[in-house]
Amino acid sequence: MDTPALPLVHITCTGGVCTITLDDPSRRNALGTALFEQFEHALAQAHETANRGEIIVVVIRATGRAFCSGFDLAQCVQNHETLAQFVRRLAAITRVIREMPAIVVAQVQGAALAGGCAIVAACDIVCASEQATFGYPVHRIGISPAVSLPTLMATVGCGGARTLTLSGEIVDARRAKELGLVFTLSPDADMLDASVAALARELSAKPPAALRATKAWLNHVDGTHSSQSLGSRAHDVTEATAALAATDESRLLLAHFWNRRKGTD
């Protein structure tokens, strides 16, 4: 179980750049109750700081070998209602990222799977190391990756989104770049860190009003704004996915997957 007292997410803001770091490497930065709470708090803090005009860029990064492996399934097995709750919280996070009045850069050094890939797809610019992987392997536990569809479709198009979400395939960083999900590739995590730092400095030096206006208009044009075609369906998609997560089929598939993973089935 999560230990809420542990600092699983760190936030630092300096020089127009706010960096949010997921820091639960032993669990591959899985989205459990405590990490969700701390990540939500960090995003809210970044949003407020951006509203005051104190930051222009938000970088979301992680420690360890994985960026984020998705939901903490141990918690979902213990209480199946948790799975639907996590779906709703993930959807809210993707909306906050997309509506953030700052440019959000994802720094992906390893696996960004399921909920982790949804977080990445919601960001404005994605930078990855060549060791990074992406995908939505969630059908095996009876749930849908549909909460990610609005921002994923806006980024990689309908064809790429259909392939990634229906196949459940995990793709490497080069394939993700071909699809348009990843903007830049770095050979390793150290060079990725330097590359993202340089990009953040470059972005933070631009006129902030013009940059924010560009992001706002992009959200309108690509349909992810809450008033537009993709964004207006986000709530319906989220609730349908949460309902699916609460079914007996999902409960049985999750239990079977977890037992096989633990070698007890």
Domain ranges of the chain: 9-190+207-262
| Under 8 Å between Cβ of 209 and 46 | no
Phi and psi angles of residue 15, each rounded to the nearest 5 degrees, phi first? 60, 35
Q: What is the mean pLDDT of the chain?
A: 94
100 class by beta-carbon count within 10 Å (0-12 exposed, 13-18 middle, 19+ buried)? buried
Model pLDDT, residue 51: 94
Model pLDDT, residue 5: 63
Model pLDDT, residue 230: 81
Model pLDDT, residue 1: 47
Model pLDDT, residue 228: 86
pTM: 0.95
Distance CA 71, CA 103 (A): 25
For domain 9-190+207-262, give its CATH number from 3.30.450.20, 3.90.226.10, 3.30.40.10, 3.30.420.40. Answer: 3.90.226.10
Helix (H, G, I), strand (E, B) or coil at 105: strand
Model pLDDT, residue 233: 86
Model pLDDT, residue 264: 56
Instruction: Please identify every stretch of the chain with a pLDDT value under 70, giving residue numbers as ranges.
Output: 1-5, 264-265
